[in-house]
Amino acid sequence: MSPIKEIEPETASSGVKNSSSSQLSAQETEPQFDHGRLLRKIDLHVLPILFAIYVAAFIDRINISSALTLGLTKNLQLTGQQPNIALTIFFVPYIIFEIPSNILLKKFNPHVWLPTRILVFGIVVIAQGFVQSYSGLLVTRFFLGLAESGIFPGSVYLISFWYKQNEAQKRFTFYWSSTIIASAFGGLLASAISKLNGIRGLSSWRWVFILEGIATVFIGIAAFFSITDFPREAKWLSHNEREFLIAKTGANESHEIPVTARDVVAFLTKPKNIVAGIMYLSLLISSYSFVFFIPTIVQRLGYGIVETQLHSVPPFAAAFGLAIVIAYISDEAGLRLPFILLGQALLISGLSFLITFHDSSSFSIKYAGLCLVAMGTLGIGGNMVCWYVMNLQGHVERSIGSAWLICFGNLGGIISTFSFLKKDTPYYHTGYVLCISFSVLSVIASIWYGWFIWLEREDEKRDPESEGVKRERLYL
């Protein structure tokens, strides 16, 4: 096999620290081990537990939607916009504490920080099952947002250091698909748990929170023994495997390099990063609207409660299928933007169907519209996250950048909770117009961000000493 080319750390600008000046020598012949086997070994150590954690976290985040239909509104005497406010309050700490959480993850290591977050999250979900008032619900929702704030960006940050660009999309998609699985089956799980209504004097919605919270606590405990750290600290790698992996991915700096306030300010003042945030935010408005309100929209097609949950699954299945296909093609082609634009086209088409057709004879068209919306949001969200995070270099950029993208994007969660209101039934014209408008903005921002990456690649071409390293690491 050919020798591995030595990869030099890229020098950071605008105050953001970069890779350590020390560089690994990877010019010697590749170690004698099966690289495919090493990759499978990494997959098994890194991905399954992170997948399980986020399935649990996402189900616990959205199970309030099912609880609202199972009597929570009546029991807690919620009126007006109070259910929407309860959905929204989650996102306030979730957004604010994303970047601080990633900085703390660097300090305490993933195998400690991430399990602690999910364990606390599960305990708060259980407590949510015992609230007696609207104010109690708001308090638990706030602490849920605080506990979950570091889970998704921290996991993305960790995954990014284990793979090189042409391996990353499949792994990011696997992790992202946890949101699809949770969205598809969270409602069905809640429906099954609802049969416990009245057991020990507790309403069915309380059992939803309690049982799902207990499951999350067990996953959190297991995570303490399962989550790996960054490649430099992973004890299950041999010396040769570690050296080869670090050289291959270019992840040749220590995660202990500190992140300062100046680094954060310098990062957030770069137009490229602002545009990336707008790109993701605009997509998540439609994504959250779909996840939160698909039961309501499907129910408008004439189904009962159980049938509504069952007919909510196929759109998610379509999204999962598209995500997997795109992941493999995207890695093989070394491209991200064309596939993101494809998904956005499907999204806008689906929304157009839903806002246009209303009569009962248009059932097939409306249901196809739901499938297209799912494919255009959940089907490409993982691509967008992978594209942005893997184009960042070093621990400082990725710790800030992964948290920035997720925190800014999740402003869409706040906007979406007020998109499909009861007063707009049955056509939800305002919600659809909002989603279409932001979907178009997402297209514009995606092309704009791609333009920034193209400029960086062109600058590298004019640098005679670059040897094409940046073109290998920056994907369009």
- What's the pLDDT tens digit per position in 73-96? 889 999 888 988 998 899 999 999
| Mean pLDDT of the region 286-307 | 73
Residue 386 pLDDT greater than 90, yes or no: yes
Of 417 and 214, more confident: 214
The number of beta carbons lying within 10 Å of the beta carbon of residue 426 is 7
The model's pLDDT over 107-137, given as tens digits with 9 standing for 90+, comes to 888 999 999 999 999 999 999 999 999 999 9
Residue 172 pLDDT exceeds 60:
yes
Cβ-proximal residues to 87 (8 Å cutoff; 6+ apart), any chain: 64, 65, 141, 292, 413, 417
Residue 379 CA to residue 344 CA, distance in Å, equals: 10
Nearest to 372 by CA among 337, 414, 322: 322
Query: Of 389, 400, 386, which is closest to residue 15 (Cα–Cα)?
Result: 400
The reported pLDDT for the residue numbered 10 is 41
Single-letter residue type at 130: F
Helix-helix angle 134-148:35-69, to 10 degrees: 170
Percentage with pLDDT > 70 across the chain: 87
Residue 385 pLDDT > 90, yes or no? yes
| pTM score of the predicted model | 0.86
Q: pLDDT digits over 325-383, tens only? A: 999 999 999 999 999 999 999 999 999 998 998 777 777 888 899 999 999 999 999 99
**Chain center to CA of 184:** 15
> How far is residue 237's CA from residue 403's CA, in Å, rounded to a whole number?
27
How high does pLDDT run on average in the chain?
86
Rounded alpha-carbon distances, angstroms, from residue 140 to 2, 56, 288, 452? 56, 17, 20, 41
Q: How many residues does the chain have?
A: 476
